[in-house]
Amino acid sequence: MKGRLYLVPAPLDFGCAQSAALQTTMPMGTITVAASLAHWVCENAKSARAYLKRVNEVVPLCQPIQAQSLVELPREVHKKGDHNGNFDARALLKPALDGHNMGLLSEAGMPAVADPGASVVRAAHELGIRVVPLVGPVSLLLALAASGLNGQNFAFVGYLPQNPQERVQRIRELEALALKSGQTQLFIETPYRNLAMLQSLLNTLQHNTRLAISCGLTLAGASITSDNIKNWKHLPAPLDNATPAVFAIGR
């Protein structure tokens, strides 16, 4: 029999100074399944080992961390993404073909959602391997739920351009779509570019457009601010330049 591919969420505090007990954000069922796995496909083996160490503190691992099989996704997948069918991940799933259950793990949140991993899931379907998503934090949905914006019609558009002129043009396109259709537009930014993104939004969006920023979700110092641009301009910056944030605009 073929093994299963479990999509294992990771806590959103990877890389952050604040680390709460794992079970405060991860369901016990998910932690238990993670502890039962010994074969992994991950973004970064070092981070994966750190996560497994935290799992072991709650539920003992089926094998010591040193004995776990951790295979990293290629560097090209991180640079260009793997959601367009440009990477064949079937070779990574050999343990599942041999009958072993496997886990797919990203740096934070749900693998294959605003993170690499879609190619592995797609390959599993092609090989007849059962895919099982587990429950855990997904920053995009947490941010959407907390924004007060339209949660019935929304789109995640990934990263906006780094070039300032191109970024402004993209912001205007997304705002026009949000105001015309009512569809909330969600996007993210690489840490250390948060403040540049905020400034572009404040300078570009119309006064009545609503902007929501969720920063450091699930952390003790999490902040969620949602207001129209007119009022935003009188607020102190709600985010630092290093903590992961989700941006949303709508009406």
131-144: per-residue pLDDT in tens? 999 999 999 999 99
Q: What is the pLDDT of residue 16?
A: 60
Q: Is the pLDDT of residue 18 over 60?
A: no
What is the chain's alpha carbon radius of gyration, rounded to the nearest angstrom? Answer: 19
Cβ-defined contacts of 195-203 (< 8 Å, 24+): 195/237, 195/239, 195/241, 197/160, 197/167, 197/247, 198/237, 198/239, 200/164, 200/167, 200/168, 200/171, 201/171, 201/229, 201/247, 201/249, 202/229, 202/232, 202/233, 203/168
Q: Evaluate if pTM is beyond 0.85.
A: yes
Q: Are strands 102-105 and 39-42 parallel, antiparallel or unpaired?
A: parallel
Assigned token pair, 11:
């806590």
Structural domains of the chain in order of their starting residue, each with its CATH number: 5-133 (3.40.1010.10), 139-250 (3.30.950.10)
Q: Confirm if 136 and 166 have CB atoms less than 8 A apart.
A: no
Give tens-digit pLDDT for 62-75: 999 999 999 999 88
Q: What is the pLDDT of residue 233?
A: 84
Q: Give the residue carrying structure tokens 């920053």.
A: 139
Q: What is the pLDDT of residue 19?
A: 64
Per-residue confidence band for 96, with pLDDT thresholds at 50, 70 and 90: very high
Q: Which of 24, 53, 48 shows the shortest CA–CA distance to 106? A: 48
Q: Which are the contacts of 180, defined by CB distance < 8 A and separation ≥ 6?
A: none
- DSSP label of 208: T
Q: Is the pLDDT of residue 28 over 80?
A: yes
Instruction: Give the least confident one: 14-18, 27-31, 51-55, 182-186.
Output: 14-18
State the average pLDDT over residues 53-65: 95
Q: Which are the contacts of 209, defined by CB distance < 8 A and separation ≥ 6?
A: 175, 178, 179, 228, 229, 249, 250, 251
Q: Is the pLDDT of residue 237 over 80?
A: no
Q: Which of 128, 125, 133 shows the shortest CA–CA distance to 99? A: 128
- CA distance linking residue 157 with residue 185, whole number of Å: 7
Residue 162, φ and ψ in degrees, nearest 5 = -80, -35
Q: Give me the helices (H) in the chain, please.
A: 28-36, 45-58, 75-80, 94-97, 118-126, 139-147, 164-181, 194-204, 229-232
Q: What is the pLDDT of residue 23?
A: 87
Q: Is 54 helix (H, G, I), strand (E, B) or coil?
A: helix
